[in-house]
A and B are shown apart, each in its own frame.
Chain A
Amino acid sequence: MDSLLRLEAVQASYGQSRILFDISLTIGTGEMVGLLGRNGMGKTTTVRAITGQLATTGGDIVFKGRSVRNLPSHLLGRMGMGLVPEGRRIFPNLTVRENLVAAAANRSGRSEPWTLDRVLALFPRLSERLGNWGSQLSGGEQQMLAVGRALMINPDLLILDEATEGLAPIVRDVIWNALRQLKSEGLAILVIDRNLRQMMDVGDRHHIIEKGRTVWSGSSAAFSSEPTLKGRFLSV
């Protein structure tokens, strides 16, 4: 299968403590893949490893057919990874508009690139806030801005770490609708979220991570047909 991103037995640690033992996953072009698992099982660490924010100690990461393991994160960004990080990491001292345009780029020369207008059309709420500082936004607005900011670099793969965490139900729907639309436009998406129904609804395939290992991989349908999975790996 021609995968856009492939992780093969990736290992990583924070100083003394080893966090990732054996993470393997794939994302195909135009596919939405979910990363599932309880808190503290290594999902965010996996994302950090993929985006070059954490050095890996073993395994391989292949993006667009090229091994990108331990490449600096700005090169990965240039190659087409767009990240919506956990905690959003909006630049508080930049306005909403500046957050969007600061790093904007269309390196792959896309014919219909993401522009400020397109992002505002996707999240109309942001157009009222263009002149506000990043620090003045609500959590939902911040998340929309983080998604918009990632889109403005015209990525081939969008990675969302906790897509709707801590957001009101209405705002969650806004984000999920946007993701649905992005997927329909052919963008590959790797998403972490606790909203299982939406994940199964929109996502194509999923990987479950348990204690730093990929323990299960399969389609939404396969997940639903194995009711014990939820109890074993995901429930409280």
Chain B
Amino acid sequence: MTDAILEAHGLTKRFGGLIATDDVTLSIQERACHALIGPNGAGKTTLLSQLSGELRPSAGRILFEGRDVTMAGLGGRARLGILRSFQITSVCDDFSVFDNVVVACQIKNGHGFRFWEAPRHVPALADAARNVLERTGLGDLTHVEAGVLSHGQRRQLELAIALAMQPRVLLLDEPMAGMGPAEAERMTELLAGLRADYTVVLVEHDMDAVFRLADTVSVLVGGRLVASGRPEEIKANDAVRDAYLGHEEEGVA
């Protein structure tokens, strides 16, 4: 395939006797949004964790721009530009929103063994941070302490931190989880705005969002990749529907 920026070949992950990821092969196209869907426990987060380097696969390879990065850890892949956001929001609560993003900008900008100047007063870093904050809709909250943000705002901040790292590939784990409808809508808007500039791998339960954002949808069931294709194909695919819904003709409860 052409333009694949991130590829997984025969990825398998076992936890004891449990096979969480079962021989998954997929390729992520550059500057496109690739959604991973499937029922709870299908291994979406586990797969994402292997792509991000948090979990080491039991078998299989992961290629980034054609280079084998299977053995690189979370930090190593972050330095290459593969960034993940977490299901459980993790931002620095005592920092202001601005500082949260400035730190990320600063990390992107080089090592942190500089002991004098406050990064928030370095014009280049401050501008970059303000830019990202505008883009993620947090422009009005710059000086608010992150700890007092609402849930949805925290998710936005989480996204902002990832964007500040100027990622080549952005792995998003349920960015809409726990959001109210209005917040989810705003997040969908935000992500839609990023689609042209970033490569995004998205794990999400909100199907409205998935089908609106994704260029490619892959369906996981019981750790196996059962289908991968354009959203319309996936919607129309009976096998996918059956597998995803359980068995026979059943709804998702």
The answer for the CA separation of A166 and B39 in the assembled complex, in Å, is 8
> Which one of A32-40, A52-60, A75-83, A114-122 is at the interface?
A32-40
- The answer on a CB contact under 8 Å between A162 and B40 is yes
Interface size of A in residues (CB-CB distance below 8 Å) = 32
Minimal Cβ-Cβ distance residue in B for A37: B253
A17 at interface, CB cutoff 8 A = yes
- The answer on a CB contact under 8 Å between B181 and A211 is yes
- The answer on a CB contact under 8 Å between B17 and A38 is no
Interface residues of B (CB under 8 A from A): 16-18, 37, 39-42, 148-151, 154, 174, 177-178, 180-181, 205-207, 222, 244-248, 250-253
Minimal Cβ-Cβ distance residue in A for B147: A16
For this complex, 12 residue pairs linking A to B, each with C-beta atoms less than 8 Å apart, are A16-B150, A38-B252, A40-B206, A138-B18, A162-B40, A165-B40, A166-B40, A169-B247, A194-B253, A211-B180, A235-B251, A236-B244
| A17/B177 contact (C-beta < 8 A), A196-B253, A234-B251, A236-B252 known | no
Chain A contacts for B148, CB-based, 8 A? 16
A139 at interface, CB cutoff 8 A = yes
| A16/B149 contact (C-beta < 8 A), A139-B18, A193-B253 known | yes
A184 at interface, CB cutoff 8 A = no
Chain B contacts for A235, CB-based, 8 A? 251-252
Chain B contacts for A37, CB-based, 8 A? 253
Minimal Cβ-Cβ distance residue in B for A197: B250
- The answer on a CB contact under 8 Å between B222 and A166 is yes
- The answer on a CB contact under 8 Å between B41 and A166 is yes
- The answer on a CB contact under 8 Å between A136 and B17 is yes
| A34/B253 contact (C-beta < 8 A), A39-B205, A162-B40 known | yes
- The answer on a CB contact under 8 Å between B151 and A16 is yes
- The answer on a CB contact under 8 Å between B39 and A194 is yes
Nearest chain A CB to B186 CB, angstrom units: 15
Nearest chain A CB to B92 CB, angstrom units: 15
Residue from B151, B205, B206, B251 within 8 A of A196 (CB atoms) = B251
Nearest chain A CB to B240 CB, angstrom units: 10
10 nearest A-B pairs in the assembled complex, by CB-CB distance:
A166-B41, A17-B151, A234-B251, A230-B251, A196-B250, A36-B253, A39-B205, A194-B253, A236-B207, A196-B251
Chain A contacts for B253, CB-based, 8 A? 34, 36-37, 192-196, 199, 234
Mask for A117-150, Cβ within 8 A of B = 1, else 0?
0000000000000000001111100000000000
Chain A contacts for B39, CB-based, 8 A? 165-166, 194
Chain B contacts for A230, CB-based, 8 A? 251
A19 at interface, CB cutoff 8 A = yes
The answer for the CA separation of A17 and B177 in the assembled complex, in Å, is 11
Chain A contacts for B222, CB-based, 8 A? 166, 168
The answer for the CA separation of A166 and B42 in the assembled complex, in Å, is 7
Chain A CB within 10 Å, residue with most, of B39, B206, B251, B253? B253
- The answer on a CB contact under 8 Å between A40 and B246 is no
The answer for the CA separation of A195 and B252 in the assembled complex, in Å, is 7
The answer for the CA separation of A166 and B22 in the assembled complex, in Å, is 14
The answer for the CA separation of A214 and B245 in the assembled complex, in Å, is 23
Chain B contacts for A236, CB-based, 8 A? 37, 207, 244-245, 252
Q: Which of chain A's residues 2-29 have a Cβ closer than 8 Å to chain B?
A: 14, 16-17, 19
The answer for the CA separation of A193 and B253 in the assembled complex, in Å, is 6
The answer for the CA separation of A14 and B244 in the assembled complex, in Å, is 29
The answer for the CA separation of A142 and B17 in the assembled complex, in Å, is 12
- The answer on a CB contact under 8 Å between A194 and B246 is yes
Minimal Cβ-Cβ distance residue in A for B37: A236
Nearest chain A CB to B185 CB, angstrom units: 13
Mask for A70-113, Cβ within 8 A of B = 1, else 0?
00000000000000000000000000000000000000000000
Chain A CB within 10 Å, residue with most, of B16, B222, B251? B251
- The answer on a CB contact under 8 Å between B150 and A17 is yes
Nearest chain A CB to B175 CB, angstrom units: 12
